[in-house]
Amino acid sequence: MTRYISSIINHCILLIGLLIMIVPVWIIFASSTHSSLFINTNGLQFFLGDNFIENYSRVLFKKSGFFNEITALKMFFNSFVMATGIATLSVITSLMAAYGLVYFKIKYATIIFWLIFITLLVPLELRIMPSYIVMSKLNLVNTFAGLILPISASAIATFFFRQFYKSIPDELLEAAKLDGTSSWKFFIDFLVPLSKTMIAAVFIFMFVFGYNQYLWPLIMTTSEQYWTVVMGLKTMYGSISDRFAFVIMSMIPPVVIIVFLQKLFIQGIFQNK
C-alpha cells in the first residue's frame, strides 16, 4: 500500500516537472496559431487557433529583418551552414589533434598539450572584441568562414577524443605495429571506425552548440544576408504572432536532433566517465 502511494507521489513530481518544461513552449506555440489582432486583444493563448499555416508560411517566405532583406528560410539556411561547418571542422581537427597527442612520442609534448588545453579557459565571450578586430583584419566579416572558424577554435572536442583514445587498449597498436601498419593507416582503418559513436556524439554536441550561437553572429554580420536564426530572433520585426511562430521554428532543429539522437549523444558523452 505504501509502495502504491509513493509511486503515485513519484509520478506527480515528474508530471509537475514535465509541465514546467512543456507549458511555456506550448503557450507560445498555441499563441502562434492565432492572428496578431486576436493576441493583442486577448493576450497569450492556451488553445490552438486556426491561423497556423498562414502565420508560419508568412514568416518563412516573407522578407523581413531591419532592412527587409532576408526571409526566415534564408536564416535557417545560414544557421545550418554555420552549425554544420563548426561541427565538421571541430570533429576533424580534434580527432586528428587528439591522435597526435596520444599516439606519438612528441618532443615538446607538455608544451603542446598546454597550448591546446589552456584554451578551454578562454571562451569566445572573453575575447569578443579582439576577435572581431582580428576577423576584420583578415577580411572575414560577413562571411561563413568568419562565422565558423573562431567557434571551431575550441579544445573541448579534443579533450573528449583524447579521453576516449586513452581508454583503447594498448594491444591494438602493438598488433598493428607488428603488421607494419603506418600511423596514417592505423588512424583511418582502426581509430576512426572505433570512434564512430564518439564522433557522432561530438558532432551532435558541436552542431547544437554552433546553431545556438548568439553573440558571435550578432557581431560578425553587418549584412542581413548572413543573419542566423538565433540572432535574428531579437532583431526580427513583424507582428506578434509572426514572432511567436519564429520562436517556435527556431527551436525545432536542435530539439529534434537531441530528442531523436539522445541515446547516441548520451552514450558518447558518458563513455568517458
Partner 1 sequence: MKKVQFKSYYSQYFFLAPQLLILLIFLYWPIIQTFKDAFTMQDAFGFGSQFAGFDNFLFVFSDPSYFTAFKFTIIYSFVITLITGSIGLLLAVQANKVLHGKNVYKTLLIWPYAIAPAVVGVMANYFFSERYGLLHHLFNNMWGFNWYEDVFDAYIYVIIAGSWKQISANFIFFLAGLQAIQKTVIEASIIDCKSNIRRFWTITFPLLMPTTFFLIIINITYAFFDTFGIIDTTTIGAPGSETKTLVYKAYIDGFKGLDLGSAGAQSIMMMIIVLFITIFQFRYIEGKIHYN
Identified binder of partner 1 from the candidate list 47, 50, 67, 105, rule CB under 8 A: 105
Stretch that binds partner 1, among 54-62, 66-74, 195-203, 240-248 (CB under 8 A): 240-248
Q: Which C-beta is closer to partner 1: that of 70 or that of 229?
A: 229
Question: Cell triple for residue 108?
Answer: 615538446
Identified binder of partner 1 from the candidate list 160, 211, 226, 227, rule CB under 8 A: 211
Q: State yes or no: residue 254 binds partner 1 (CB under 8 A).
A: yes
Stretch that binds partner 1, among 50-58, 60-68, 70-78, 127-135 (CB under 8 A): 127-135
Query: Cα separation of 209 and 187, whole Å?
Result: 27
Identified binder of partner 1 from the candidate list 30, 48, 128, 200, rule CB under 8 A: 128
Identified binder of partner 1 from the candidate list 37, 73, 111, 134, rule CB under 8 A: 134
One symbol per residue from 149 to 188: x for binding partner 1 (CB under 8 A), - otherwise; what is it? xx-xx-x--x-------x---x--xx--x-----xx-xx-
- Applying CB under 8 A, what is the total number of residues that bind partner 1? 94
Residues contacting 61, CB < 8 A, separation 6+: 71, 72, 73
Query: Cα separation of 70 and 227, whole Å?
Result: 8
Q: State yes or no: residue 92 binds partner 1 (CB under 8 A).
A: yes
Q: How far is the CB of 22 from partner 1 (least distance, A)?
A: 7
Q: State yes or no: residue 37 binds partner 1 (CB under 8 A).
A: no
Identified binder of partner 1 from the candidate list 143, 240, 271, 272, rule CB under 8 A: 240
Q: State yes or no: residue 102 binds partner 1 (CB under 8 A).
A: yes
Query: What CA dihedral angle connects 223, 227, 231 and 234, to 10 degrees?
Result: 70
Kindly state the DSSP code that residue 189 receives in the 8-state scheme. I
Query: Cα separation of 112 and 101, whole Å?
Result: 8
Q: State yes or no: residue 214 binds partner 1 (CB under 8 A).
A: yes
Q: How far is the CB of 258 from partner 1 (least distance, A)?
A: 4
Query: Cα separation of 151 and 126, whole Å?
Result: 13
CA distances to 84, 115, 216, 230, 233 from 247, in Å:
21, 39, 19, 9, 7
For residues 48-81, one letter each, b for 16 or more C-beta atoms within 10 angstroms of the residue's C-beta and e for the rest, the string is ebebeeebbebbbeeebbeeeebbbebbbebbbb
Which residues from 44-83 bind partner 1, rule CB under 8 A?
44
Q: How far is the CB of 52 from partner 1 (least distance, A)?
A: 18
What radius of gyration do the chain's Cα atoms show?
Answer: 24
Identified binder of partner 1 from the candidate list 33, 55, 94, 195, rule CB under 8 A: 94
CB 141 within 8 A of CB 220: yes
CA of residue 233 relative to chain centroid, distance: 17
Stretch that binds partner 1, among 51-59, 69-77, 80-88, 253-261 (CB under 8 A): 253-261
Identified binder of partner 1 from the candidate list 61, 66, 77, 104, rule CB under 8 A: 104
